Amino acid sequence: MRARLEDLYKKRFTGAFEIITDSKPISEDELDSKIAFLQLTSVEPYFAKTPNFSTDFSLNHNLSKFCFETPFTKDGKARTDDVTKQWIRKTIITTKHAFPYCTKRIQVVSENQIELSFGCLK
């Protein structure tokens, strides 16, 4: 998927294109305005509670909430060897329409972040 998008957009923007694969929030002020950026993040369906579905179709149809996780530390680094200082930011996004939908891209209407710590393992 990444290679296909990279080929498509590099042709469209004549080389002034870059893919960002890091899930962390990005400040638009820090990006070069002469380059087109695309941020790719892998998401999974999000269920507030354990789903009570019996088929794969039920688990992958009519979905409008997705989540992804980003590791971080309070020091600013993404990862550390000390598990008590490691955090995970779980981001839950809600889309305007449910998947599957007629178009491949759907507007994100809300985003909620939860920070989880492993510090309780001391």
Q: What's the rounded Cα separation, in Å, for the pair 36 and 11? A: 12
Give Cα 29 distance to the centre of its chain.
Answer: 20
For residue 91, the tally of other CB atoms under 10 A from its CB is 19
Residue that wins the pLDDT comparison between 104 and 7: 7
For residue 78, the tally of other CB atoms under 10 A from its CB is 12
Nearest Cα residue to 60 out of 75, 72, 45, 49: 45
What is the average pLDDT across 8-30?
Answer: 82
Which pLDDT does position 120 carry in this prediction? 55
Answer whether residue 33 shows pLDDT above 60.
yes
Task: Give the up-direction half-sphere exposure of residue 14: CA atoms within 13 A in the CB hemisphere.
Answer: 1
Global pTM exceeds 0.75 = no
What is the average pLDDT across 12-17?
Answer: 81
pLDDT tens, 90-121?
999 999 999 888 887 788 899 999 998 876 55
pLDDT tens, 66-99?
999 888 888 877 777 777 788 888 999 999 999 8
Which pLDDT does position 83 carry in this prediction? 77
